A and B are shown apart, each in its own frame.
Chain A
Amino acid sequence: MSTPLATAIAPDLGAPASSPSLILARGLTKRFGEFTAVDAIDFDVAPGESFGFLGPNGAGKTSTMRMIGCVSPLSGGTLQILGLDPEAHGPQIRARLGVVPQQDTLDTELTVRENLLIYGRYFGLSRAECATRADELLEFAQLGERAGDQVERLSGGMKRRLTIARSLINEPDVLLLDEPTTGLDPQARHLLWDRLYRLKQRGVTLVLTTHYMDEAEQLCDRLVVMDKAKIVAEGSPRSLIEQYSTREVTELRFAPGVQETLDGQLDGLAERIERLPDRVLLYADDGEAAVAAAHARGLQPEQVLVRRSSLEDVFLRLTGRSLIE
């Protein structure tokens, strides 16, 4: 690349000079033939923010991430990353991104440490710099003892940590994480969350996709819920819960056959009532009061569970309960 980075970050790229957005999307669209994977979505990510895309499989999260990663051309709309246009400045933008794809893309022909070394070289770092950073990152990812091993011999959690370590070799301004903990056991997930939290504290902007509600609540300052290629809600985890659910949820489970006979008896017990095949959900700010009201009406559920509302309730409300593949 002959264009120096300084010239590449020209101010005349259409973004308002005052725009604080690190990533700015307007009408962002991705089509594969007839199929629209991402349908004219708008979003902004501010520097230092931790931003999540939440949604069921096939909602368009990965397509969006690939466009942000400058490896997938836009079908429509505009996208600016770090103030640059991915169409014209892909390599410069990628130079400042760290990418953790959904499936590990480690170089299986190389050892753990070599994976970090060569990846640093792709970014044009000197060999000495690569070596220093590789050793630091091996420490960070708790992989120091496995440095000389072939990648194939690592466990799933170790591979994931190596992928994250690799994505940090260029000290990125933005880290893109596509389902960072899918398929990992609980210990590995918590270790990863801890590492990501540390990065966030260091001021790295995180952009992640997930369909784990606990992960979104743990990691995201702000998130958008995607469904069928569109954004259906946006806000902080707390504000989304407030907006789309109640403070508490009461789950009532009845003896087989009883639930079908309850016509009308539930009305008015809560702000919103949802009937699932196996149980009834009462959305009310005071769950205990809802239980008391149900008992007062002579209802005799076999099991009662009162819990705090979670992002999962928001998610299921917004994206529906039927299986989407």
Chain B
Amino acid sequence: MTAFPLTTGLLGSRRSLRLIERNLFVYKHGWIIILSGFFEPLFYLLSIGFGLGALIGSIAGPGGQAIPYQLFVAPALLASSAMNGAITEATFNFFFKLNYNKTFEAILSTPLSAGDVAVGELGWALIRGGLYAVGFMVVMVVLGLVVSPWVILAVPAALLIGFAFGAVGMAATSFMKTWQDFDLIQLVVLPLFLFSATFYPIETYPEVLRVIVQLTPLYQGVDLIRSLTVGVLSPVLLFHVAYLLVMGFAGLWVVARRLDKLLLK
């Protein structure tokens, strides 16, 4: 069925902008909640980067030269918080909104389609993610963690990570039936957060593990942002970008096929 012009919706029906408008209304009352999201990566940076970093000193960065631990870990925290933010929005929050929040039931009885809602909410998550990324950049400047002009590209890179994980998260959500199913998502996200060369160089792993990690999605983001931050560029970065783009569009493709069926009972 061609029902509810989803493809137009997914690639940016203007109606999905209304969702962003709604969020602006909502956060006029609760902007502090938005602000709070910025602190989590900051706390991690201060604690792990500087606190624990004091016990570590320097560590091998991209290209092999030794860099201070906080410079090593900061880009990884940016990448993983982009992943976390998008996943939370696209899985847990999205499921809750469409199944339990009556607001979204009301929205679906206007000309907006489920696809518009999906794109609108994902778009809002990306806007927020973009704000956090910019905020994090400012912190890095203040803390003296900026060593290369390429770091400016870390903001779009963070958005790309958010897009890739948000789309795949939403696709996964379209298969979820109950809250228990979301434990599976934690089961994927936590290992990604801990093992994607986030806290130590990928060379720490034995050969086999290293190859496996190099194929996982968050590693692409971590290595991409870290290389940009340190200013060590290589063709591998293009692979990372392509990986995340393919992942995002594959996610959207699944969402487009499943969303209406799932949400319109």
Contact = CB atoms under 8 A, between A and B. Distances in A.
Direct contact of A and B (CB under 8 A): yes
Interface of A: 1-2, 32, 69-73, 87-88, 90-92, 94-95, 97, 99, 101, 103-110, 114, 117-119, 121-124, 166, 170
A2 B8 contact: yes
A71 B3 contact: no
A168 to B, nearest CB: 13
A52 to B, nearest CB: 20
Contacts of B110: 94-95, 119, 122-123, 170
A30 to B, nearest CB: 10
Contacts of B3: 73, 87-88, 90
A71 B102 CA distance: 14
A54 B118 CA distance: 36
A92 B3 CA distance: 12
B208 interface: no
28 contacts: A1-B8, A71-B108, A72-B265, A73-B264, A87-B1, A87-B3, A90-B113, A91-B5, A91-B15, A91-B111, A91-B112, A94-B109, A94-B110, A97-B109, A99-B109, A101-B102, A101-B106, A101-B109, A106-B103, A108-B102, A110-B29, A117-B25, A118-B18, A118-B21, A118-B25, A119-B106, A121-B21, A122-B15
B4 to A, nearest CB: 5
Contacts of A166: 106
B110 to A, nearest CB: 4
Given A87-B1, A123-B110, A1 B15 contact: yes
A95 B112 CA distance: 9
A61 B115 CA distance: 27
Contacts of B5: 1, 91
A87 B261 CA distance: 12
Contacts of A110: 22, 25-26, 29
B264 A71 contact: yes
Interface in B1-52: 1-5, 8, 13, 15, 18, 21-22, 25-26, 29-30
A101 B113 CA distance: 17
A88 B260 CA distance: 13
Contacts of B4: 90-91
Q: Which 8 A-B pairs have the closest CB atoms?
A: A105-B106, A105-B102, A122-B110, A91-B111, A99-B109, A95-B111, A107-B103, A109-B26
Nearest to B114: A71
Interface in B75-129: 102-103, 105-113
Contacts of A119: 106, 110
Nearest to A91: B111
Contacts of A72: 264-265
Contacts of B113: 90-91
A114 B30 CA distance: 14
A87 B260 CA distance: 11
Contacts, number: 91
Nearest to B3: A87
Nearest to B110: A122
B97 to A, nearest CB: 11
Given A87-B1, A87-B3, A106 B102 contact: yes
A311 B5 CA distance: 43
A108 B243 CA distance: 40
Given A73-B1, A87-B1, A107-B22, 11 more contacts: A1-B111, A71-B109, A72-B265, A73-B260, A91-B113, A94-B109, A106-B106, A110-B25, A121-B18, A166-B106, A170-B110
Nearest to B104: A105
Contacts of B8: 1-2
A73 B3 CA distance: 9
Nearest to B21: A121
Contacts of B108: 71
A92 B110 CA distance: 9
Contact of B103 (A71, A92, A105): A105
Nearest to B26: A109
A99 B106 CA distance: 8
A134 to B, nearest CB: 13
Contacts of B106: 99, 101, 105-107, 119, 166
Contacts of B112: 91, 122
Interface string B152-191: 0000000000000000000000000000000000000000
Contacts of B26: 107, 109-110
